Amino acid sequence: MVLVKLDDGTVWMWSPIHYTRDLGDKMKELDLTNVKHVVSPNKIHHLFIKEWQDIYPEAAYYAPPGLKDRRVAKDIRFDHFLENNVKTEFESEIKHQVFDASAMQEVEFYHVKSKTAIFCDLIQRFPPEKTKGFKGRLMKADGLVGDNGSTPREWRMTFMFGKKKARAAKAVVVDEWKPENLIIAHGSCVDDGTATAVIEKALKWM
């Protein structure tokens, strides 16, 4: 989960995790309880949104392409739907780009002030020391480990007929955003200014 305090003092929440009292206390400590926007980056990172909706019923909830029609999301209220041509209330501070050339559509975000891109499952970079044994070998074969981390190969295959569209989305991230930092849901993040190069390498298969 990522929390960003916007310039107006409200909070933007990305890919919410299970709510606990400790988490709530930490949010209070950091003055991050004024939650106004809650976003799901893809159609499988929605599992705990309903919990947060019960806690913050007045916040606005944003669905990525493909989620609103899933039966598992039928009890979630969505107020906005993220598409490339949709302007959001937080657009001046956090930009978004949909990679929608695949069955597994995903929305990537960019926090302008910190020059940080926020990716979910499209790029995975698990630390080598945590990928031992048979499972580790499978992850390495799938291209998900360390500096060579990328997109799961089975997911890449679903881009077979949409690579031109995917490359256009990648160009927005790499050539327009030019992020220096990178937060990802699965694996090692980047905070040394090299995020654009890391993303370009990870998505080179496109």
Q: Minimal CA–CA distance to 64: which of 49, 52, 46, 48?
A: 46
Dig out the tokens for 65 from the structure.
């392409």
User: Could you tell me which of 66, 69, 104 has the C-alpha nearest to residue 82?
Assistant: 66
| CA 11 remoteness from chain centre | 16
- The size of the chain, in residues, is 206
Q: What is the pTM of this model?
A: 0.93
Strands in 64-149 per DSSP E: 80-81, 94-99, 106-111, 116-119
Given 3.60.15.10, 2.40.30.10, 3.50.50.60, 3.40.50.2000, which CATH number is that of 1-84? Answer: 3.60.15.10
For 96-120, what is the mean pLDDT?
94
- Is the per-residue pLDDT at 103 higher than 90? no
Q: What are the tokens at 42?
A: 């893809």
Give the integer Cα–Cα distance in Å for 173 and 2: 19
Please give the share of the chain, as a percent, with pLDDT higher than 70.
Answer: 100
Q: How confident is the model at residue 46 (pLDDT cuts 50, 70, 90)?
A: confident
Sketch the domain layout of the chain as residue ranges: 1-84, 93-206
The strand pair at 181-184 and 116-119 is best described as parallel
Cα(151)–Cα(156) distance, rounded to whole angstroms?
Answer: 7
Q: Identify the DSSP state of 190.
A: B
Distance CA 110, CA 14 (A): 12
How many Cβ atoms from other residues are within 10 Å of residue 65's Cβ? Answer: 19
